[in-house]
Amino acid sequence: MPAYQLNVNGKDVIADVDDPVMPLLYFLRNELGLHGPRFGCGLGQCGACTVHVNGAAIRSCVYPIGNVQGKVITLEGLGTPENLHPLQRAFIDEQAVQCGYCINGMIMQAAAFLKRTPKPTEDQVREELRPNLCRCGTHIRIVRAVMRAAQAGVGA
């Protein structure tokens, strides 16, 4: 059985998997018990599964585990209830959640984006989040939360 050396949320882990094509998502959720990334479509169409690989937001539902090289960060690695990332703080402050199933993707996509674009316009945020789907209609608050985090200086 092939073993892959990964670094997830700052910890080295060995992934013993029999199929290098298995998407990273299943390893994170079922082997590491990380529930930030979520299965939404398995097609890279909705964004619920988003994690960072070497700082870039990727769709873990279509990202083969055999291709992962470098550092993986999930929502849990971004911040904790006791030590919130400014985006997580902003999503709470703006109450930018309805069901919350998509929120992992919103925060992870925005976190990578703000690193690149620390002071975005609202339109830039909307454009960046275009591929992330929300069904409850929380978009207005999500954009507000990202702008709030940007103003707080997340990306700096």
Partner 1 sequence: MSALIARRALLKASGALIITFALKPDFARTAQIKAKPVALDSVDSYLAIDANGLVTVYSGKVDLGTGVRTALTQIVAEELDVSFDKVSLIQGDTDLTPDQGVTYGSLSIQNGGVQLRQAAATARRALLQIAAARMKVAADTLTLESGTVIGADQQRLALQALIGNQTLSIKVDKTAPLKNPDNFKLVGQSVQRLDIPGKVTGQFTFMQDFKVPGMYHGRVIRPAAIGAKLVSFDETSIADIAGIVKVVRLENFLGVVAKTEWAAIKAMRQLSVVWSDWSELPPSIELWQHVRQTQVIKDDVTSNTGDSAGALASAQHRLQATYNFAIHTHGSIGPSCAVAQFDGGRLTCWSASQATHNLRKQLAAMLSLKDEQVRCVYIDGAGCYGRNAHEDAAADAALLARAVGAPVRVQWMREDEHGWDPKGPPTLLDMRAGIDSNGKISAWESELFIPDGVAGFVALVGADHAGLDSLGKLSPGGVIQGLAIPYTIENVKTVAHRLASTPFKPSWIRSPGRMQNSFANESFFDEIAAHQGMDPLNARLEYLSDARGKELLERLAVLSGWRTRPKPDWHAPKSTGWGLAYTKYELVRTYVGVVCEAEVNRKSGEIAVKRFFVAHDCGQIINPDGVRNQIEGNVVQTVSRVMKEELHFSQSRVTSLNWASYPILQFPEVPKVVIDLIDRPHELPWGAGEPTAALIPAAISNAVFNATGVRLRSVPFTPPKVRDQINLS
Interface contacts to partner 1, rule CB under 8 A: 18-19, 22-23, 26, 29-30, 34-36, 38-43, 45-46, 48, 74-76, 79-82, 84, 88, 91-92, 95, 97-104, 107, 123, 125-127, 129-143
Q: Given the complex with partner 1, which of 56 and 99 has the nearer CB atom? A: 99
Q: What's the rounded Cα separation, in Å, for the pair 2 and 28?
A: 17
Q: At closest approach, how far in Å is the CB of 147 from partner 1?
A: 13
Q: Which DSSP state fits 67?
A: G
Q: Given the complex with partner 1, which of 71 and 141 has the nearer CB atom? A: 141
Q: Given the complex with partner 1, which of 74 and 155 has the nearer CB atom? A: 74
Q: At closest approach, how far in Å is the CB of 36 from partner 1?
A: 3
User: Of 84, 57, 55, whose CA–CA distance to 71 is shortest?
Assistant: 55
Q: Which DSSP state fits 66?
A: G
105 has which bridge partners?
Answer: none
Q: Given the complex with partner 1, which of 40 and 155 has the nearer CB atom? A: 40
Q: At closest approach, how far in Å is the CB of 8 from partner 1?
A: 12
Q: At closest approach, how far in Å is the CB of 19 from partner 1?
A: 7
User: What is the 3 state secondary structure string of 100-138?
Assistant: CCCHHHHHHHHHHHHHHCCCCCHHHHHHHCCCCCCCCCC
Q: At closest approach, how far in Å is the CB of 23 from partner 1?
A: 8
Q: Given the complex with partner 1, which of 61 and 155 has the nearer CB atom? A: 61
Residues 6+ apart with CB under 8 A from 15: 3, 4, 5, 6, 27, 31, 65
